[in-house]
């Protein structure tokens, strides 16, 4: 049985194109692979920014944590457990000021956990611990950032791919929805291209 985790993060909710296409992709994967589909909507239920309670609580034993530390670490553990339980992760991200939303950044801040989702090898380099999973990263942007003059300013896709790889999620396939801000015809073409990408991805799934 395949466990699929869908993580959406667009402040626009269901109207966000990253939410739309990541949801369509996740539903399509479930239809083809069977199993379960769990959803974590970071816009509806945003994780808080990390605080001293989380930073201090994750390095002490459970029996010595304060109530505030226990709550902070408990949330992080819940988020980590959702990723651990997944065989496939579908992650939707809409670009906000050239990068991911603060909600998505806060999610990564909780699950990027020394000794739990990454560690350091004997040689001293980082080693991701969440291995053996497939990730589909759906990014949306009003401009075109995959190529051309604005490509150097895509601080969303490369950053998210780096964070995923840092915790061991290295098998990442990217679906882009871009160029929707240049008028109705451009938006229509961008959406059609994204639909084609989703069909292509699903067509390769056994």
CA geometry: angle at 70 spanning 110 and 66, to 5°?
A: 130
pLDDT at 125: 85
Domain ranges of the chain: 3-203
Q: pLDDT per residue over 106-117, tens digit each?
A: 999 999 999 999
Residue 146 exposure: Cα atoms within 13 Å on the Cβ side: 12
Query: Is the whole-model pTM more than 0.85?
Result: yes
Rounded CA separation 206/66 (Å): 48
Grouping H, G, I as helix, E, B as strand and the rest as coil, residue 165 is helix
Beta bridge partners, 90, equal 6, 136
Binding residues for FMN are: 10
Homologous superfamily, domain 3-203: Flavodoxin domain (3.40.50.360)
Q: Can you give the pLDDT at residue 79?
A: 98
- Give alpha helix (H) positions in the chain: 17-33, 52-57, 67-85, 102-111, 157-166, 184-203
pLDDT of residue 85: 97
How many CB atoms within 10 Å of residue 11? 15
Give pLDDT, residue 14.
Answer: 87
Give 10-residue mean pLDDT values along the chain (206 residues): 95 92 97 95 95 94 95 96 98 97 97 94 88 97 93 96 97 96 93 95 88
Annotated binding site: 10
Per-residue pLDDT, 68: 96
Locate tokens 């034993």: which residue?
A: 61
């Amino acid at each position: 049985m395949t466990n699929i985790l869908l993580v959406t993060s667009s402040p626009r909710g269901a109207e966000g194109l990253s939410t739309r296409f990541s949801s369509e992709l996740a539903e399509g994967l479930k239809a083809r692979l069977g199993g379960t589909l769990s959803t974590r909507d970071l816009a509806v239920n945003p994780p808080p920014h990390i605080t001293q309670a989380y930073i201090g609580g994750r390095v002490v034993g459970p029996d010595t944590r304060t109530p505030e530390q226990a709550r902070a670490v408990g949330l992080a553990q819940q988020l980590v457990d959702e990723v651990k339980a997944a065989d496939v992760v579908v992650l939707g991200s809409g670009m906000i000021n050239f990068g991911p939303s603060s909600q998505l950044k806060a999610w990564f801040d909780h699950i990027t956990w020394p000794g739990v989702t990454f560690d350091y090898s004997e040689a001293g380099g980082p080693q991701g611990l969440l291995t053996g999973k497939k990730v589909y990263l759906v990014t949306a942007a009003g401009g075109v950032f995959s190529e051309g003059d604005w490509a150097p300013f895509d601080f969303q896709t490369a950053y998210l791919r780096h964070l995923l790889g840092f915790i061991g999620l290295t098998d990442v396939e990217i679906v882009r929805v871009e160029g929707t801000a240049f008028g109705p015809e451009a938006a229509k073409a961008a959406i059609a291209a994204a639909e084609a990408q989703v069909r292509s991805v699903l067509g390769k799934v056994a």
